[in-house]
Amino acid sequence: MGSTGMGALQDKVAVVTGAAGGIGKEIAHAFFLEGAKIAIADLKAEQAGATAKEFDPSGKRAMGVGMDVGDEQAVDNGMAKVLATFGRIDILVSNAGIQHIAPIDELEFSQWKKLMAVHLDGAFLTTRAALRAMYKHGEGGSIIYMGSVHSKEASPLKAPYVTAKHGLIGLAKVVAKEGAKHKVRANVICPGYVWTPLVQKQIPETAKARGISEESVIKDVMLRDTVDGEFTTTADVAAAAVFFASFKSNALTGQSLIVSHGWSME
C-alpha cells in the first residue's frame, strides 16, 4: 500500500481458481491486500466461502464460488455469479491444479484425462468466460496461468502434468495475440517446488515409485537443482502474480516467468 492508501489493484475484480488453499489462496490474499475484490473459485465450495469470510467478514470485497473448472456449465455459472456480484472481471488467475504420479506404461487413461480436464479444459473455460467479460467491458485485463518449472522441463512419472503445463504456455501466447487489441495481457508463472498439500501428497508417492526415502525425495528430487536448497514459497509466487496483474501495458504479455530458486534457468 502506498501513502495514499491505494493498492496496486485498487477496485479491480480478480477471479482466482483453486484459491481455497495453497498457492491460489496466497495470491487471492495478496490481491485483496492490494485493494482488489476477490472471487475465490474452488471445487471445495464450502472452503472457498470460508476463505472469502476470512479475508473480508463483511463480504463486500471477497466471495466464494463453488466451481469445477473442468465443467463448462459450472464455470459459466460461476463466472456469471462473479459478474452479478462485482460487475466486472479485470484479472483471472487460472491456478486450480492436481498432480498424479505414475510411469506412462502404468498410467490409466482416466487419470490422464482428469489431469487434462483440470489444467487445460479449466484454463480454456475460465479464459473464455473472462475474455467475454473483459472484451464487453472494454477496459482490458490480465490473465495469469499457473504453470510450473514443468512448463519448461520434464521429470519422470509426471507425463500428464508436464504435458498440460507446457500446453498452458501455448494458450497464454494465443490469448496474448488475440487479447492485445482489447488490452488483455496473458502470462504464465512457473514456480519450482512450493510447500503445499499438492507437493506434500506426492512425497510418499514419489518415494514409493522411485524406491527411495521420503527425505531423499525432498533433498535429491525436489531441491537438489535449486541454487540454495530452498522451497519456493506461496508468498514468492503471489508477488509474481501481483507484478503481472498490475502491469499496465501490453509490453509484458505472452511471457512466462520462472520462480524456482534457480531449479530451472531456461
Q: Which helix (H) or strand (E) holds 94?
A: strand 91-94
All 3 cell numbers of residue 170? 501455448
Residue 43 or 223 with smaller CB distance to ligand NAD: 43
Subset of residues 100 to 129 that bind ligand NAD, contact rule: CB under 6 A:
118
- In 111-183 the beta strands, taken as DSSP E runs, fall at 141-146
Residue 199 or 212 with smaller CB distance to ligand NAD: 199
- Choose the stretch contacting ligand NAD; rule: CB under 6 A; options: 36-44, 174-182, 205-213, 247-255: 36-44
**C-alpha angle 130/239/255, rounded to 5°?**
55
* Minimum separation from the CB atom of position 17 to ligand NAD (A): 6
Residue 117 or 252 with smaller CB distance to ligand NAD: 117
* Minimum separation from the CB atom of position 95 to ligand NAD (A): 5
Nearest to 7 by CA among 27, 37, 36, 38: 36
Does 161 participate in catalysis according to the annotation? Answer: yes
Per annotation, catalytic residue among 135, 145, 161, 193: 161
Q: Which helix (H) or strand (E) holds 65?
A: strand 62-66
All 3 cell numbers of residue 174? 494465443
Asked whether 61 and 38 are in contact (CB, 8 A), the reply is: yes
Annotate each residue in 187-226 with x if it binds ligand NAD (CB under 6 A) or - if it does not, as one string.
Answer: ----x-xx-xxxx---------------------------
> Using CA atoms, how far apart are residues 202 and 197, in angstroms rounded to an integer?
9
* Minimum separation from the CB atom of position 117 to ligand NAD (A): 7
* Minimum separation from the CB atom of position 102 to ligand NAD (A): 16
Length of the chain: 266
Subset of residues 6 to 25 that bind ligand NAD, contact rule: CB under 6 A:
17-18, 20-24
Count of residues engaged in binding ligand NAD, rule: CB under 6 A: 28
> Using CA atoms, how far apart are residues 216 and 75, in angstroms rounded to an integer?
40
All 3 cell numbers of residue 32? 485483496
Sheet holding 91-94, edge to edge: 62-66, 37-42, 13-17, 91-94, 141-146, 184-191, 255-259
Residue 69 or 176 with smaller CB distance to ligand NAD: 69
* Minimum separation from the CB atom of position 84 to ligand NAD (A): 20
Residue 10 or 163 with smaller CB distance to ligand NAD: 163
Q: What sections of 117-154 are H helices per DSSP?
A: 122-137
* Interaction between residue 130 and ligand NAD (CB under 6 A): no
For the annotated catalytic residues, the residue numbers are 161
Binding site for ligand NAD (CB under 6 A): 17-18, 20-24, 42-44, 67-70, 95-98, 118, 146, 148, 191, 193-194, 196-199
